[in-house]
Chains A and B, each alone.
Chain A
Amino acid sequence: DTGVSQDPRHKITKRGQNVTFRCDPISEHNRLYWYRQTLGQGPEFLTYFQNEAQLEKSRLLSDRFSAERPKGSFSTLEIQRTEQGDSAMYLCASSPRSSGELFFGEGSRLTVL
Chain B
Amino acid sequence: GENVEQHPSTLSVQEGDSAVIKCTYSDSASNYFPWYKQELGKRPQLIIDIRSNVGEKKDQRIAVTLNKTAKHFSLHITETQPEDSAVYFCAANRANNLFFGTGTRLTVIP
Residues of A within 8 A of B (CB): 31, 33, 35, 40-45, 48, 50, 55-56, 58, 91, 98-102, 104-107
Main DSSP-derived SS at the B contact region: strand
Given the interface pairs A31-B96, A42-B101, A42-B103, the reply to whether A105 lies near B43 with Cβ below 8 Å is yes
Stretch of B12-20, B44-52, B58-66, B70-78 that contacts chain A: B44-52
Q: Are A99 and B103 in contact (CB under 8 A)?
A: no
The distance in angstroms between the C-alpha atoms of A33 and B97, with both chains bound, is 8
The distance in angstroms between the C-alpha atoms of A15 and B51, with both chains bound, is 43
Tally of contacts, chain A with chain B, CB under 8 A = 56
Q: Are A50 and B43 in contact (CB under 8 A)?
A: no
The distance in angstroms between the C-alpha atoms of A43 and B100, with both chains bound, is 6
Q: B95: which A residues are within 8 A, CB to CB?
A: 56, 98
- List the 6 shortest-distance A-B pairs measured between CB atoms, nearest first: A42-B100, A99-B32, A104-B43, A98-B96, A101-B46, A42-B89
Main DSSP-derived SS at the A contact region: loop
The distance in angstroms between the C-alpha atoms of A55 and B46, with both chains bound, is 24
The distance in angstroms between the C-alpha atoms of A101 and B101, with both chains bound, is 16
Q: Are A106 and B42 in contact (CB under 8 A)?
A: yes
The distance in angstroms between the C-alpha atoms of A33 and B102, with both chains bound, is 18
Q: A101: which B residues are within 8 A, CB to CB?
A: 34, 46, 49
Additional A-B contacts beyond A42-B101, A104-B45 (8; CB < 8 A): A43-B89, A55-B96, A91-B44, A99-B51, A101-B46, A102-B34, A105-B43, A106-B43
Which of the listed residues A45, A55, A98 has the most CB atoms from chain B within 10 Å of its own CB? Answer: A45
Kindly state whether residue B31 has any CB partner on chain A within 8 Å: yes
Q: Are B93 and A99 in contact (CB under 8 A)?
A: yes
Nearest-CB distance from B35 to chain A (Å)?
Answer: 11
Q: Are B98 and A102 in contact (CB under 8 A)?
A: yes
